[in-house]
A = this chain, B = another copy of it.
Amino acid sequence: MASKKATIHDIAKELNITASTVSRALNNNPRISEATKKAVLGMAKDLNYQPNNLAAALRKGKSQLIGIIVPTINRSFFSSVIRGVEEVANKLNYRVIVSQSNEDVDNEIATLNALLNARVDGVLVSIGKNTDRFEHYKDLMERGIPLVLFDRTTNEVGTSQVVIDDYLGGYLATEHLIKQGCKKIVHFTNLKQVNIYKERYRGYLEALRDNDIPFDESLVYQSDMQLVDGRNCTEQLLASHKKFDAIFSASDYAAVGALQILKENGVKVPEDVALVGFSNEPFTSFTDPSLTTVSQFPIEMGQAAAESFFEILEAKKKKFIPQKTVLQPELIIRDSSLKSGK
């Protein structure tokens, strides 16, 4: 039974036809008679034929593979995006190769090259936090390899992007806090290359302005936005003895860090300090109090990114104008910010 893998040549030999006819039959080419197609399909099944995509890919110059680069895969947001990409890609008979950059530029470049050597038909990337060089992406563009940036994007590379309206997210979060009566709203952010935090910050500023709340720069804390950073910033904040009645953290992780320190210091959330995070990480509904946050619809983002990718792929021959897809975020109001509700 376990003879070597069958090829189209084996099928051809059995049926006394040529491999080209078999190939056409398998691809449902209209120039092949129904009878032959039936025979080929039957024999393919009999011989347990499995097409060798490598060979086809080599010949056609298309591997049916998409590369994805994310900073880390085991973060709910990113793995959900990947899930979304996969759903769309698989339907179109594409497979997804996943790679992690670990927030390191050199790693990002190395991993990108590895994907290219594997001959992926294109790449979807969420840029590392510390990435400050973009030549490798510009190269891609020049070589005509489809590239879509999502979430952590940059405008330095003229390609399609999929983001949520981070500005709006920041605005909604801040506005919500203001409506809860907060006036001294601390903001945790990270104003590096990547756009997302800048945008959330912009939303924060705008909401303050629209509501005539004076902006106090000393209430803005910059960090790496991990849980530990949230802890550190909050400790500094408390130590500074500044007055504040809310924290809008542009990351859920930092928000949880803040929550921990606040609780440890007997500061009541939301009574003393209202708290809002960003991303709707799964754990945010399980904290005590549950964390108000902004949903980024990661699965939808993945789907949109994949669709964007296939648009580039299809438009390939003609000139293609990069699209920027902006998804609407949604404020998820939970207990950590509800001063009035309780």
Contact = CB atoms under 8 A, between A and B. Distances in A.
Interface of A: 1-2, 5, 50-55, 57-58, 63-65, 72-76, 79-80, 82-83, 86, 90, 93, 95-100, 111, 113-119, 142-144, 256, 282-283, 286-288, 298-299
Contact of A98 (B54, B96, B113): B96
Question: How many copies of this chain does one complex carry?
Answer: 2
Contacts of A75: 79
Given A54-B119, A63-B54, A95 B82 contact: no
A113 B50 contact: yes
Given A79-B79, A286-B283, A99 B86 contact: yes
Contacts of A83: 72-74, 100
B99 A95 contact: yes
Contacts of A117: 50-53
14 contacts: A5-B143, A64-B118, A74-B82, A76-B282, A82-B98, A83-B100, A86-B98, A90-B111, A95-B97, A95-B118, A96-B99, A98-B98, A282-B283, A288-B288
Given A50-B117, A79-B79, 8 more contacts: A51-B117, A65-B97, A73-B86, A74-B83, A76-B282, A86-B98, A282-B283, A287-B288
Contacts of A80: 74
